[in-house]
Amino acid sequence: MESVQVRFFAAARAAAHTDRLEVPSGTLREILANFSSTSTDLGRIIPQCSFLVDSVICHDFDKTIAPGSEIHVLPKFAGG
């Protein structure tokens, strides 16, 4: 299985009940939709988050995430 690592921070970590998961690669949209469909709590947090792919901010939800990449899920922090 070709996979990517997803790391959760702050409220996203609490909602996911873990700090990281290994998931199948795909587009950022597909990966995030899977979280929303499997976890109600995480589904509420995801739309409020920013995403880093291999340490670079990613606004393109149709970007294919290459196997071996790492996605950071960053909810809004205090002050914005």
CATH code of the domain occupying 3-74: 3.10.20.30
Q: Identify which has the larger pLDDT, 74 or 1.
A: 74
Q: What is the pLDDT of residue 76?
A: 86
Tens digit of each residue's pLDDT (9 = 90 or more) over 29-54: 999 998 877 778 898 999 999 999 99
Kind and range of the H or E run holding 42: helix 40-45
Instruction: State the Cα–Cα distance between residues 67 and 5, nearest whole angstrom.
Output: 9
How much is the pTM?
0.90
Residue 14 · residue 75 · CB < 8 Å: no
Domains of the chain by residue range: 3-74
